[in-house]
Amino acid sequence: MTEATEKKVMLSGIQPSGALHLGNYLGAIRNWVERTDEFDNYYFLADLHTLTVRQVPADLRRHTLELLASYIACGLDPEKNTLFIQSHVPAHAELGWVLNCYTMFGELSRMTQFKDKSAKHADNINGGLFTYPCLMAADILLYQPDYVPVGEDQKQHVELTRNVAQRFNNLYGEVFKVPEPYIPKTGARVMSLNDPASKMSKSIPEGCVFLLDEPDDIRRKFKRAVTDSDTERCVRYDPEHKPGVSNLMSIYAACTGKSLADIEAEFDGQGYGAFKPAVGDAVIETLRPIREETRRILADKAYLEDVYRAGAEKAARVAGRTLRKVYKKVGLVAR
């Protein structure tokens, strides 16, 4: 048995509907890098999922390649992690259709993200928006992962995936490994710079720091960052009463490795005027090598193509084994 098969398998995907931001990096990707040698990791660009919302084709292609380059620049070594583009492995769409037929209408109608996205895109409530959790289940189950890293907003999807896998296994035997949700060690929970009650999101660009932002843009965003309206303009960690400052402290701590107590001591008596630029500078230095390496990789189109082709070939071999087993179990004639 090879070392890779002895390791537990972990899988995660992200939609290339926009650029990666600081919250993605500090909250998730940095932890992925630390797990490189612990698990057999599959990380994919979920481009098929983006189609539930109308995309500008050229932008989608550009974002997909930028995201892949950023993954590598953040430290996800393609020699040690399987990095691939979802649409390059047809088994995702094929198993997605089969699982449509084993997922109940009532289950899909209860998915909170369908309700949220329907409200945001009332002029385009399409079938894919309703059934995309089946494709998400296929994304996961094809690779027989032991764990799927989840945040609060994805727990419902993993639970649905587990239910569908168990339903299928009850009918046909042990076809799918039923994955466990993986709660990673706590990364920085990065909130929006202009609304510390909301997570940092690419949908609110002014409150979001993107990995490819130029230093001057980063400084400007932190200069405008919401602090707090209290008269006590001190740097003190208090998420309930001082959410803006507390968010900036969490970011500064994640970028510098300093404790919250050390940060309070460092800026004792200095106020927000000194603190906000310091946070901006720390973020600039954290992201500088990532931005530079991403651009270097994007300029080397041959290398990037080699990465996504090799990743898709490995992913297709693994996914194909699962799909053949599924097709046989449901009665389809072998190819």
Burial class (CB in 10 A: 0-12, 13-18, 19+), 161: buried
3-class secondary-structure state, position 154: helix
Banded model confidence at residue 187, pLDDT cuts 50, 70, 90:
low
Question: Given 199, 221, 242, 276, which residue is catalytic?
Answer: 199
Beta-strand (E) ranges in the chain?
A: 9-14, 40-45, 82-85, 147-149, 180-182
Region 174-194: mean pLDDT is 84
If one compares 17 and 170, the residue with the highest pLDDT of the two is 170
If asked whether residues 243 and 326 sit together in one domain, one would say no
Known catalytic membership, residue 117:
yes
Q: Give the integer Cα–Cα distance in Å for 161 and 142.
A: 11
- CB distance 298 to 66 below 8 Å: yes
List pLDDT tens digits, range 61-100: 999 999 999 999 999 999 999 999 999 999 999 999 999 9
pLDDT band at 3 (very low <50, low <70, confident <90, very high): very low
Does the pLDDT of residue 139 top 70, yes or no? yes
Q: Which of 177, 202, 258, 314 is catalytic?
A: 202
| Residues 99, 164 contacting (CB under 8 angstroms) | yes
Two structure tokens written together for 90: 């047809």
Q: Are residues 140 and 260 in the same domain?
A: no
Query: Is residue 127 located within the same domain as residue 245?
Result: no
Whether 58 shows a pLDDT value over 90: the answer reads yes
The residue range of the domain holding 26 is: 3-188+300-330
In this structure, the answer to whether residues 267 and 309 fall within a common structural domain is no
Strands 82-85 and 40-45: parallel
Among 117, 221, 242, 276, the one annotated catalytic? 117
Whether 272 contacts 7, CB under 8 Å? no
Q: Which residues are within 8 A (CB) of 261 and not within 5 positions of it... i.e. 6 or more apart?
A: none
Annotated active-site residue 221? The verdict is no
Please give the backbone phi and psi of residue 182, each rounded to the nearest 5 degrees, phi first: -110, 115
Asked if residue 53 belongs to a domain, the reply is yes
Q: Is residue 194 part of a domain?
A: no
CA dihedral 109, 112, 117, 120 (to 10 degrees): 110
Tell me whether residue 7 is one of the annotated catalytic residues: no
pLDDT of 22 above 60: yes
Which of 160, 113, 112, 173 is CA-nearest to residue 134?
Answer: 160
From the list 221, 272, 217, 215, the residue with the least C-alpha distance to 249 is: 272
Per-residue pLDDT at 199 exceeds 80: yes
Determine the pLDDT at residue 33: 92
Q: What is the CATH number of the domain that holds 24?
A: 3.40.50.620
**pLDDT for residue 186 is more than 60:** no
Q: With 70 as the cut, is the pLDDT of residue 151 above it?
A: no
Percent of the chain predicted with pLDDT > 90: 66
Q: Are residues 149 and 124 in the same domain?
A: yes
Question: Is it the case that residue 182 has pLDDT exceeding 90?
Answer: no
164 and 54 within one domain: yes
Residues 161 and 227 in one domain: no
Residue 103: predicted pLDDT: 94
Q: What is the mean pLDDT of residues 264-271?
A: 89
Q: What is the pLDDT of residue 152?
A: 63
Asked if residue 151 and residue 136 are part of one domain, the reply reads yes
- Rounded to the nearest integer, the mean pLDDT of the chain is 90
Q: Are residues 284 and 306 in the same domain?
A: no
Total structural domains within the chain: 2
Region for 55 from its dihedrals, namely left if φ exceeds 0, alpha if ψ lies in -120 to 50, beta otherwise: beta
pLDDT confidence of residue 231:
61
**pLDDT value for 2:** 44
Position 270 in a domain: yes
Distance CA 222, CA 208 (A): 10
With a cut of 50, say whether residue 1 has pLDDT above it.
no
Residue 261 lies in a domain: yes
Nearest to 317 by CA among 91, 48, 79: 91
Average of per-residue pLDDT across 300-326: 98
**Residue 199 per-residue DSSP state:** B
Domain with residue 284: its CATH number is: 1.10.240.10
Q: Are residues 42 and 139 in the same domain?
A: yes
Q: Quick check: is 198 in a domain?
A: no
Do 160 and 259 lie in one domain? The reply is no
